[in-house]
Structure 1
């Protein structure tokens, strides 16, 4: 009974018999609970084979009933779950809280409740318990990079289900980079006609001599995006799109060469980048480039209702701007000090543009360099420093430091880890991650919206590889993001491991190709494919 992940705030066991779902069990759904009602019938109905027929909607209590209701006295994402021998009452502070409570109910039914069809002889019993729960942070995210290796739509929908099972509520959707453009923009069709595929792909780290000599690509139509966003909304997940500017833009320049610095490089000779790292080919700081991307963002805003729009803003090499007469003329025209201020001007343009349309810009912590409008938020990836600086300047922050929650980093120092990248970050390391820097005051800490784990896919060529790098560490991260845990040194990792022993069964039922506790299985290894191991401890925050 105590194996729920993420760990609830309060869980009290009662004496008495279990409540057992059976053919006569009904779901009585009160006003405002329709989304969770649909999910329960579809998901638990498939796993159990039970009809879960509608009960009364007038609030009357019936025996053998799962009752759903809302209570404005709870926090919006909070819930209360009471299981008694005669029935179940699940109450949410809002539709989201009710849905997260349904995820807990599913876990209490056992791992087979995560299957898509019932196994023979299954019994569906809930222990007598009272759970009161609410999340620590409003932003509990997963950044999924589909630009480096494309993930087909069905895979994205699957990851939304996996996020929901762990009570994560923000999908940061990294849609563009040097290696591919993944979203249809109708006014600029070459972005997908040309920019969505590359002729070949580096296999392993960029130092690897290996290549996969076949085209790689794919993109989401606008209807695909609408489906993904709607599917996420049914699971109380917000999709935040990322379109990278002004760096990480070679795929866009390959499609539309006029976007590049044409006075210093023959942009007509560029193709979508086939290796990893940071491309030197960045956007030209011209009015034409601004108008082009305003058009991109106009279509994006129609597809994504999220408050935040991510514009990247990281890793923009300045060499082409230093050599470009056009860029230098722009610096002089705007009375800027240097190329760094030119990048800040570029970011601030879209900060203002988005704010005028009721949205908020978020970008990687490099966007702090040069100043930001009050409404912009920062995703702190280069350690904690960017988040600390942003919070102290009054900006909202999402903490995602590379040294702690980049899930492309290897999980063990063993030589059989597939394509070992970065620092060793074990399950325990992720479990002991603390999103709020200790040096922030209480007021400054209030600017920490939450945290997210980042899944960069340079060395993840398919769904199985994404699963391996992401799980089981995402379960540990989800508990950090949701639960009111003690200080990192005081966290009960042994207790978490005991709960994980059950949770692995849920992941098995969901078909997740996670890294086993004992190390990679033979088919999960990638012998001979170079990674980029980094020796020694990570930098201090």
Structure 2
């Protein structure tokens, strides 16, 4: 199987000797303890597609052998895959490396290896190869917005599988916003009783706004979250939760008016930046400390995202309590007030061994000492943070916003500027103006899936794929990228997505049923 069929492209791919290795009823999967999770995953996935038992252990016959060896010189998440007539051997620097090697092994088989039941396709043969591989970045992420349009749990699990297929390792889960609160908090049940649904949703971006008149809602119980986190961890994906503060909080204020200016609000039904923001009282701080404490119990990863983006200051300028806080803390203005608010939670997380993550607006008024910045408003925020010694995740709108239109032609609810497949593939996450030491603070990149205009998992499929496939190579492959070389490999990769049932955007444009005739979108100057 030539290298052109693999996505993302491996660092080193050499042909092996002989005719390769055929899977049959006698083939076994043998793993050491550290690779046992990957063995179970591979047995389940290939067993479903091939109908083969792939029994555990070494029976002396055909064998797929999985091993972790930190002394093999492969680097974090790196692996070596060797296939010859005697079998297949995957050695990983760590358990994640073994898993990525198994993902590559699966890609060496026909696309029907991604189906859930066997087809009458004949022999299952792995070609003779020797592949050595490791990722360029440690943070290879995707932000999924389940606040604007709720994604049922089984679709989130499917999305995790698709991320794992592409060797991505961070799911940034946007759980709260003006239009919905999606996570159960035991201390505050009104957050799901009231804030998890809205009476209707804006459709498109016409002005004045048009609404569908249909209630929308949903939330994840704490057991759902534990399942999502565990399912992702088994695929070496860390789930980073986002609870957005102090802006994008109208849903929470609708459930608890004391969090805002005190007026009665409903959960947001319109898209865009909304003036209603959190108050800065001790009551609000205590409320969100409790929320974040429950969140940290559910998400064991290092990072907790506080959002921090698009926080209008209009209410704070008119608020007696906000102005009193500015005076009491010796702050210069409302920007420093937002910084003070974010620093409070940076201290709270640091005391619990966690790290604060926030959008680049958290630079305004001064950056919290332990903060990692997600740079979305171009690259300027990321450059400033890296030069100040802070870690950065790059996701500028022009290259990373998968809600943006995919062509200048007819697209469903076209928003933003054109962000085509080739644009995503060509983007370099590291800004050219950074020096070597500064660039080391760019720990990776992510793409963002904002779902105001994605009201179903089918629509998410269309907007995300195959652009996510292009992004996956951009953050995995460390060499020079050539779109003309990538495209033939992607065309073969689309056969895998077809077998899975992903309703991606065809390379030549949308199918008729993927359009939204008559629904107005919006442009964007940047």
Give the TM interval when normalised to the shorter protein: over 0.9
Q: CA deviation at 1:301?
A: 0.5
Q: Match for residue 340 of structure 2?
A: 345
Corresponding position of 2:241: 241
Distance 1:511 1:534 in 2: 32
Residues 1:432 and 2:426 are matched in the alignment: yes
**1:326 is aligned to 2:324:** no
State whether residues 81 and 90 of structure 1, in contact with CA within 8 Å, keep that contact through their aligned partners in structure 2.
Answer: yes
Q: CA RMSD in A?
A: 1.1
Does the CA contact (< 8 Å) of 2:346 and 2:369 recur in 1? no
Q: CA deviation at 1:209?
A: 4.3
Corresponding residue for 1:405? 400
* CA deviation string 1:487-511 (max 9, x = no partner): xxxx211111000111110000111
2:63 aligns with: 65
Q: Shift of the alpha carbon at 1:28?
A: 1.1
Q: Is 1:27 matched up with 2:29?
A: yes
CA-CA distance at 1:485 after TM superposition: 2.7
Report what 2:159 is aligned to. Answer: 159
Paired position in structure 1 for 2:412: 418
2:17 to 4, 15, 18: 15
Deviation, 1:368, is 1.1
Between 142-151 and 366-375, the greater mean CA deviation after superposition: 366-375
Paired residues of 2:77 and 2:96 also in contact (CA < 8 A):
yes
My pick for the range that moved more, 307-316 or 526-535, is 526-535
Query: Secondary structure, in 3 states, of the residue corresponding to 2:82?
Result: strand
Structure 1 residues 123 and 207: CA distance shift in structure 2, 3 A: farther
Alpha-carbon displacement from aligned partner over 1:441-469 (angstroms, at most 9, x marks no partner): 11111111100000000000000110100
Distance in 2 of aligned mates of 1:378 and 1:365? 6
1:40 to 34, 39, 42: 42
Q: C-alpha distance in 2, partners of 1:208/1:404?
A: 29
What CA deviation, in whole Å up to 9, does each residue of 1:323-363 have, x standing for no partner? 11111111111111111111110000001110011000010
1:308 to 287, 303, 309: 303
Q: Does residue 475 of structure 1 match 2:476? A: no
Q: CA deviation at 1:372?
A: 2.6
Counterpart of 1:520 in structure 2 is 510
Contact 2:196/2:217 (CA < 8 Å) preserved in 1?
A: yes
Aligned to 2:358: 363
* Superposition deviation, residue 11 in structure 1: 0.2
Corresponding residue SS for 2:144: strand
Query: Any idea what SS the aligned residue of 1:422 has?
Result: coil
Please give the secondary structure, in 2, of the residue aligned with 1:46.
helix
Shift of 1:204: 1.1
1:228 maps to which residue?
228
Q: Is the CA contact (8 Å cut-off) linking 1:81 and 1:88 kept in structure 2?
A: yes
* Total equivalences in the alignment: 522
How far does residue 70 in structure 1 lie from its aligned partner after superposition? 1.1
Secondary structure of 1:533's match? Answer: coil
* 2:422 matches 1:442: no
Indicate conservation of the 8 Å contact 1:206/1:276, yes or no: no
Q: Distance in 2 between matches of 1:202 and 1:504?
A: 33
- 1:499 corresponds in structure 2 to 489
CA–CA distance in structure 2, aligned partners of residues 500 and 356 of structure 1: 45
Aligned residue for 1:226, secondary structure, equals helix
Separation of aligned partners in 2, 1:232 and 1:13:
33
Separation (CA, whole Å) in 2 of partners of 1:451 and 1:304: 21
Equivalent runs, 1:121-136 vs 2, <5 Å: 121-136=121-136
Determine helix, strand or coil for the equivalent of 1:398: strand
Which is worse superposed, 322-331 or 160-169? 322-331
| Structure 1 unaligned spans of 5+ | none
Alignment match of 1:396 (pick from 386, 391, 395): 391
Q: Which residue of 2 aligns with 1:290?
A: 285
CA distance in 1, matches of 2:20, 2:464: 35
Q: Given the two structures, how large is their TM-score scaled by the length of structure 1?
A: 0.95
1:251 aligns with 2:246: no
Q: Say if 1:19 and 1:125, in contact at 8 Å, map to a contact too.
A: yes
DSSP 3-state at the match of 1:242:
strand
Measure, in 2, the Cα distance between the counterparts of 1:485 and 1:160: 26
1:335 corresponds to which of 325, 330, 335: 330
Output the CA distance in 2 between the equivalents of 1:173 and 1:310: 9
2:448 is the counterpart of 1:458: no
Decide whether the 8 Å contact of 2:339 with 2:368 is kept in 1.
Answer: no
Aligned partners of 1:501 and 1:170: how far apart in 2? 25
| 1:313–1:364 Cα contact (<8 Å) kept | yes
Q: CA deviation at 1:408?
A: 0.3
Q: Distance in 1 between matches of 2:209 and 2:444?
A: 39
Deviations 1:407-465 (A, max 9, x none): 00010000x20000101011100000100011111111111110000000000000011
Unpaired stretches in structure 2, ≥5 consecutive residues: none
